[in-house]
Amino acid sequence: WKLHLEKQLASMRVQDVTRAKLIEVLSDAATKAREEARQCLIMLKGILAYAEDLEQIEESPAASITPAKIKARPSPPRERYLSLDELTEVLL
């Protein structure tokens, strides 16, 4: 927050935060640190989703922003294994 977001977002009211502003701030952060920009995006999505739940905003401006849009590092791939129930269903 302090390193990449505070200077540009701390003085803004949550209702004034726009998708364009978030993309600008996060893209700037991504030029310096791609992984940190992705982490900032995750944090902002959580904060703005909470503001949406509290009806402070109609819709989160971060909801549709992906790491690719801000040139941040993509999420690392995850390995997924089938549960026993899923495995049984596939094999039968």
Judge contact between 58 and 52, C-beta under 8 A. yes
Burial label, 47 (beta-carbon count in 10 A; 0-12, 13-18, 19+): middle
The reported pLDDT for the residue numbered 74 is 77
Average pLDDT value for residue range 23-42: 92
The whole-model pTM stands at 0.74
Q: Report CA torsion sign: 66, 69, 75, 76.
A: positive
Q: How far is CA 57 from the centre of its chain?
A: 17
Coil, strand or helix: which one is 80?
Answer: coil
Give per-residue pLDDT as tens, 45-55: 999 999 999 99
